[in-house]
Amino acid sequence: MNNSVKIAVFLALSYVAVPLALGSNTYVIGLIVAALTIAGIAVAWALLGNLGGMVSFGHAAFFGVGAYVSALLTLRGGWPVFPAMLMAGVGAAIASVATMPALRLRGPYFALAILAYAEIFRILATELKPVTGGAAGLLSIPRLPNVLGLDFGSKLGGYFVILTIVVAAMAAYHLIRRSAYGLALKAMHDSEDATRVVGVNSIVLKAWMLMVSAFITGMVGAFNAHYINFLEPDYAFAGQWTMLAIVSAIFGGYRTVSGPLAGALVVYLVDQLAFKPILPQGHQIVLGVLLGAMILFNPGGMMSMLTAKFLRKEASHAA
């Protein structure tokens, strides 16, 4: 199958088949929405990791900032929900500017610095009571709207919204990757000097990737806020947003565009449907074990494994 066929099949499945088959089952749709929420952060994380070469432990910061920006714009500023969600992306991107001094750090130091930023944002949200409502949080955040007879505030409507965010994020990841920016970023990993002497400003490129990644994550956070209509600092900035996204991206394969989505669906659904009933406490340990096994035996992740199998099969057919 060539790429455009694959994309068409994927879009038909996700926009038509899934809603038709499962649309009336609000429990399953709810689970898929939660998985897609993780998938959105996972795509953003993978974009930063693969293109920017940066590992972030702090994406919860952008998720939380996005959630608060959109909630406050709609609650206090009277903004309509969708424009507020876009502004949430912008807000998260602006927040990422605050973390940019950390871009000069390499590898684990960057990862840790950005984790500290997530913690700082959480504390800010707790302490700025007059604005954010402090630890008590924000209630009655407006639900997703009704547009042209489509009720995005329903479970199924929410599914379409988060699906569209994830699809757009994947498209952005794909387009950036094959642009000149993507090439330069790829080259920078192993040939930084060679890349810089032909005019590439590596810090600026990395900063762009951080902003794009933060923008996507902020939108996802905003979606979540309008989907569950409730927000508190410990929830919005919870480490689990980062952790689940990282597990998903790496498990699915963060160097592929589809890997983070596939990883999130498998990881989240298997966790909720299989492990949680058996191990109500500490079921996420199983995820850690699975992830460890994947890194040991197939560091490219699930999607690269499937593609390799598929290629081998095609090759043997051709032979």
Partner 1 sequence: MLLDLDGITVAFGGLIAVGDVTFAMAEGDVLGLVGPNGAGKTTLFNAVSGLVRPTRGQARFLGRDLVAMPIHARARAGIGRTFQVPQPMHELTVRENLMVASRFATGRIDRERIAEILDLLKLGHKADADAATSLALTEQKALEVGKALATNPKLLMLDEVLAGLETAGKRAFMHTLAEVRQRYGLGLLIIEHDIETITRLCPRVVVLNFGRLIAEGSPDHVFNDPEVIRSYTGGEAA
Q: Which residues in this chain contact partner 1 in the complex, by CB under 8 A?
A: 180, 183-184, 186-187, 189-191, 193-202
Identity of the residue, 73 or 184, whose beta carbon is nearer to partner 1 in the bound complex:
184
Question: Minimal distance in Å, beta carbon 84 to partner 1?
Answer: 36
Identity of the residue, 13 or 183, whose beta carbon is nearer to partner 1 in the bound complex:
183
Question: Minimal distance in Å, beta carbon 206 to partner 1?
Answer: 13
Identity of the residue, 148 or 180, whose beta carbon is nearer to partner 1 in the bound complex:
180
Identity of the residue, 242 or 256, whose beta carbon is nearer to partner 1 in the bound complex:
256
Question: Minimal distance in Å, beta carbon 196 to partner 1?
Answer: 4
Instruction: Give dist(CA 62, CA 44) in Å, integer.
Output: 10
Instruction: Give dist(CA 83, CA 280) in Å, integer.
Output: 39
Q: State which amino acid sits at residue 238.
A: A
Instruction: Give dist(CA 89, CA 62) in Å, integer.
Output: 8
Within 10 Å of residue 298's Cβ, how many Cβ atoms?
14
Identity of the residue, 14 or 195, whose beta carbon is nearer to partner 1 in the bound complex:
195
DSSP 8-class letter at 103: G
Identity of the residue, 209 or 236, whose beta carbon is nearer to partner 1 in the bound complex:
209
Q: Which residue, among 117, 88, 58, has the nearest Cα to 215 in the 3D structure?
A: 88
Question: Minimal distance in Å, beta carbon 205 to partner 1?
Answer: 9
Question: Minimal distance in Å, beta carbon 52 to partner 1?
Answer: 15
Instruction: Give dist(CA 260, CA 256) in Å, integer.
Output: 8
Question: Minimal distance in Å, beta carbon 182 to partner 1?
Answer: 10
Residue with tokens 């930084």: 192
CB 300 within 8 A of CB 255: yes
CB 64 within 8 A of CB 199: no
